[in-house]
Amino acid sequence: MAEQRQPPTLGSTGEHAWLRRMPELLPVMAGVELGVGDDAAVVLAPDGRTVVCTDVLVEDHHFRRDWSDAADVGHRAAAANLADIAAMGARPTALLVGLAAPKDLPVAWAEALLAGMRDEAALVGAAVVGGDLAASDTLVIAVTALGDLEGRAAITRSHAKPGDLVAVAGRLGWAQAGLAVLRRGFRSPRVLVSAHRRPEVPYAAGPIAALAGATSMIDISDGLLADARHIAEASGVHIDLDPAALMPDEPLRDVSSALGVDPLDWVLGGGDDHALLATFPKGATLPLEFRPIGHVKKGEPGVTFGGLGTGDRPTGFDHFGS
């Protein structure tokens, strides 16, 4: 019987042989003068300033290979960083990827991971321009994103003012509901599982909010309550969220009854949809991408829900929380 040939792994292929394939996988995009293949990339910064953020994903903490394929993981890893750039009111321009992987990781998996990142970045006209590869017993993905403010002021967390309207762009709770489904051993409803695997981020809403006069903005990555609290504390204001504006969407309501959970917990505590939370001056015309969900008030920095405390509602994701 002929010996069956095993698919190539990073270990059998070698670092340099694999990296030589990168120019084929990661084409240069507009705004990039020099992409992968040299000591460093050259990315244009016409504004004279560069917005930068970074994020790390660890296998079995942030993703599982039996729940998501490599391209899914790539999309999620890119989205987490691109959303942070958009939340500053900037346009994403480039991604850098650090991959620490076991030697037996199939080359096909690593290449599909990069393809997922490349395709997610392409949604906003950004490019994957380089990174690093190292051997590790644990699969770790570190992504750094760059962005261009295009002459605008950065929208931070710290300038919300009493009287401002609180608004959100994007879905709330869908990815968290999908994660709950996967944890129960199911793969449907597909629309929710897909939301966990590949979030649909409202990237364009970030620069649009900046042009519309947003006073503060944040990417909802820790959960609505937690990230609203980040704005409240940074700005020294109180935020009251409107329960009537935060009713769970139908897919969440449908699956919550089967799982025996309160879907509002997903809306208030889920962050992997990477919706954008912003505040706008009183009387401002909200961009179409945003819907109102509360108000900014004077008072002790914090968040209430319909004027009341948030009780035992989810407090948000904490990497070192219990």
Give me the pLDDT at residue 138, please: 96
Residue with tokens 């394939």: 21
Which residues lie below 8 Å from residue 239, measured CB to CB, with a gap of 6+? Answer: 160, 166, 228, 229, 231, 232, 294, 295, 296, 297, 302, 303, 304
Q: What is the dihedral of CA 87, 89, 94, 97, to 10 degrees?
A: -20
Q: For the chain, give the percent of residues with pLDDT over 70.
A: 95
CATH topology of domain 165-305: Phosphoribosyl-aminoimidazole Synthetase; Chain A, domain 2 (3.90.650)
Give me the pLDDT at residue 319, please: 53
Whether residue 245 is predicted with pLDDT greater than 80 in this model: the reply is: yes
Give me the pLDDT at residue 5, please: 73
User: For residue 145, which of 65, 187, 201 has the smallest C-alpha distance?
Assistant: 201
Residue with tokens 């990168």: 22
Tens digit of pLDDT for each residue in 53-90?
999 999 999 999 999 999 999 999 999 999 999 999 99
Give me the pLDDT at residue 24, please: 75
Q: Does 19 or 145 have the greater pLDDT score? A: 145
Whether residue 1 is predicted with pLDDT greater than 80 in this model: the reply is: no
Every domain of the chain and the residues it spans: 16-148, 165-305
Cα separation, 57 vs 228, in Å, equals 23
Pick the CATH number of 16-148 from 2.40.50.140, 3.40.50.2300, 3.30.1330.10, 1.20.272.10: 3.30.1330.10
Say if 16-148 and 165-305 have the same CATH topology. no
User: For residue 192, which of 204, 209, 180 has the smallest C-alpha distance?
Assistant: 180
Give me the pLDDT at residue 152, please: 96
Cα separation, 93 vs 71, in Å, equals 20
Give me the pLDDT at residue 30, please: 81
Mean pLDDT of 14-21: 76
Give me the pLDDT at residue 3, please: 57
Tens digit of pLDDT for each residue in 107-156?
999 999 999 999 999 999 999 999 899 999 999 999 999 999 999 999 99
Mean pLDDT, the chain, whole residue set? 92
Secondary structure (DSSP) of 144-183: EEEEE-TTPPP--SS---TTPEEEEES-SSHHHHHHHHHH
What confidence category does residue 318 fall into, taking pLDDT thresholds of 50, 70 and 90? low
Q: Does 322 or 232 have the greater pLDDT score? A: 232
CB neighbourhood size of 135 (10 A): 12
Mean pLDDT of 217-242: 97
Whether residue 290 is predicted with pLDDT greater than 80 in this model: the reply is: yes
Mean pLDDT of 163-169: 98
